[in-house]
Structure 1
Amino acid sequence: MFSFRRWGNELYTGRRSHDIVGRRKTWFITAVALMVASATLLLTRGVNLGIEFVGGSQFTVSGAETTAEQPANDVVGETGGEPPRVSAVGDDTVRVQTGRLSDVETREVRDGLAEAYGVPVDDVAATFIGPTWGQDVMAQALVSLGVFLVLISLIMVLYFRTWTMVVGAVGALVHDLVVTAGVYAAVGFEVTPASVIGLLTILGYSLYDTVVVFDKVRENNAHLLTQDKRTYAEGANLAVNQTMVRSINTSVTGLLPVAAILFIGAFLLGAGTLRDISLALFVGMLLSTWSSIFLAAPIDAALRERRDTIAKHTRTVLERRERRRRAAGDEGEVDVTATTADLTGVGVVAGRHLGQTAQPRRKKGRR
């Protein structure tokens, strides 16, 4: 029977390993395909921008007998306007958003909504929202994103002392943002300032998991050039396996309350306003877990192996390993076993056992 605890212990100690860094081309192709598909959806279908970004009139009906959408659609349709956006806010409140209406049209819609939902006219609040506020929020969000990326890049360069990890972390962040935006374009959910806040929030989740993985990569490869037991990619793969359970547990505990808001609050209870931020958080947290495992460290390893010193060390390790394997075969050695992995010694990475100790065949004594 599968035991998650035993599986996690085996990954951390190195007795079990999944070849993640070694199969990085597969993950890169998958990530690029997802980003291209998302970009295509954004260019062709676009996103459903909320009233804060495009402007328009908003009506809030309090104490409504029902929160159904059809009465609002019928009332707005009689004025000849575009189909409204109707959402339930709580048990007895309905929010209706339309395009910009004249004063006469606003009074007609207000009176019609009061009659359709069985409330006094005074319980229907009518406001006009201009697009300036939403555009300011978007502009500030873009500025914040740029400042965030610059500061994070500087901090990571100073902490890890290499730019390859910065590229891996930023690449994972860009992947998460683009694919999340593509999901919004695919499902047609409304994009509001709350959605923008959700997109910025997932950056923290993605970066947190990535930094944990990179810290383990640095620890495993601290004395890389002074040993010939494993390559940089194999040390990075060991780090990914060692932190995999931690990333999964962190994501599951974070996804549970978000899933409750998205599926129970937004769909079952009808709190449509919660969908704006909960969808961004739910999709972004899933993607951040995937990207921190399958993108960040593989990108770093691919860039590191382009350096002359790392490439030379990799060739040396592989050549010596091949010579030992051939020598063991020529001498007829059997029963090859692997030593237990530790943080600075030899580990089982990339699906292979490193640091093998040979057990020579026992010779028969003379008679």
Structure 2
Amino acid sequence: MNFKTNYNFDFMKVSKFFFIFSIVITLLGVGTLAFRGLNYGVDFSSGTNVDITLKKPISKQQMEQALAGYKLEKPPVITEGSERMAIRFTEVLTDTEESQLKKDIEKLSPGSSIEVNIVDVEIARELQRNAIYSVLIASIGIIIYVSIRFEWRFAIAAIVALLHDAFMVISVFSIFNLEVNLPFIIAVLTIIGFSINDTIVIFDRIRENLRFAKLRNRSDLDKLVNSSVNQTLTRTINTMLTVLVTALCLLIFGSESIRMFSLAIVIGLAFGAYSSIFIASPLWVVLRERAGDKKPNNRKPQEV
């Protein structure tokens, strides 16, 4: 993909609008999380997963009719395919219910292979804790790395942008009550990796340009950041579009089991692309200005 490289956009001028947009989404997310919480899938709540390899196709309507007589608190989530079907119960089936389910499936599709997996409450809670720990450990590692290779202001701006991207995805899933499962956590960690990579590239260019900068006021800082972001914009666009096209293909043509994963990736890519430009870089300017450090850094930048 060929894009012109002589961009001259004033990113700092419009960054406040993106700050406001992020704050609004964050407040909506906090509100929905506080009052409704996340729509946890069976991975994070007790329940029963039934995966069926079909010998004879079964429609979703046929399976719903077969399950109509079961005494369930919530209707199961049924995902149908040409040769497979998945049923997600939000509660643990008893031995009697499991046996009856296998008989019903056998009537509809004789010879089908049935796999039943049960997630109890303790396992679900452990998975929730491990998911939170994985995000925290990844964030701490990034803070340490950026602090060593750059400076503490870069580290703070990077981690705020990183957590911003993760929380934006969580907020969107909470607002629209989308299901959160283990693939969703994998998607969040993938988004964190993508976001920090793009942020580091921009920060490295800012640090390099600082060597030759004559900073006297906030306007000079803004010009420095605008120039740095414009210089890396082609790389940002190429990288984002490459990954976005792949994620969209997974979302459109992928199976139902990875639909939420693909959707989380697409949403995260959108937030990650703009947070590196409109959140991380302007935040670094604010931190540097408040610290009263407007002198250019004449140290030779390290290789990243």
The TM-score by the shorter chain falls in which range?
0.7 to 0.9
CA displacement at 1:118 relative to structure 2: 2.5
CA displacement at 1:4 relative to structure 2: 6.2
Deviations 1:21-48 (A, max 9, x none): 1333222111111211222232334322
Aligned partner of 2:104 in structure 1 is: 112
Q: Distance in 2 between matches of 1:142 and 1:158?
A: 25
Q: Percent identity?
A: 25
Q: Distance in 2 between matches of 1:113 and 1:53?
A: 26
Aligned partner of 1:37 in structure 2 is: 28
Residues 1:256 and 2:264 aligned together? no
C-alpha RMSD of the superposition: 2.5
Aligned partner of 1:148 in structure 2 is: 138
In our comparison, the structure showing a higher alpha carbon Rg is 1
Query: What residue identity is the alignment partner of 1:76?
Result: L
CA displacement at 1:225 relative to structure 2: 4.4
Cα pair 1:64 1:94 within 8 Å, conserved: no
CA displacement at 1:64 relative to structure 2: 4.9
Query: What residue identity is the alignment partner of 2:69?
Result: E
Residues 1:213 and 2:202 aligned together? yes
Q: Distance in 1 between matches of 2:104 and 2:209?
A: 69
Residues 1:233 and 2:229 aligned together? no
Residues 1:172 and 2:164 aligned together? no
Deviations 1:149-187 (A, max 9, x none): 222112211211x22211211111111111101222244
Q: Distance in 1 between matches of 2:35 and 2:105?
A: 34
Q: Distance in 2 between matches of 1:242 and 1:20?
A: 12
> Within 5 A, what are the aligned runs for 1:66-77?
66-77=57-68
Q: Distance in 1 between matches of 2:229 and 2:194?
A: 17
SS at match of 1:21: helix
Query: What residue identity is the alignment partner of 1:279?
Result: L
Residues 1:278 and 2:268 aligned together? no
TM-score between both structures, scaled by the size of structure 2: 0.88
> Within 5 A, what are the aligned runs for 1:275-314?
275-310=259-294
**Length, aligned pairs only:** 294
SS at match of 1:124: strand
Cα pair 1:198 1:277 within 8 Å, conserved: yes
Deviations 1:84-129 (A, max 9, x none): 01113x52111112122222222222222332x3224x63333422
SS at match of 1:119: coil
SS at match of 1:140: helix
Cα pair 1:110 1:126 within 8 Å, conserved: no
Query: What residue identity is the alignment partner of 2:125?
Result: Q
Q: Distance in 2 between matches of 1:32 and 1:206?
A: 18
Cα pair 1:72 1:84 within 8 Å, conserved: no
Task: Give the direction of change, closer, same or farther, for the CA distance of 1:309–1:165 in structure 2 (3 Å limit).
Answer: closer
SS at match of 1:91: coil
Q: Distance in 2 between matches of 1:64 and 1:252?
A: 40
Task: Give the direction of change, closer, same or farther, for the CA distance of 1:86–1:217 in structure 2 (3 Å limit).
Answer: same
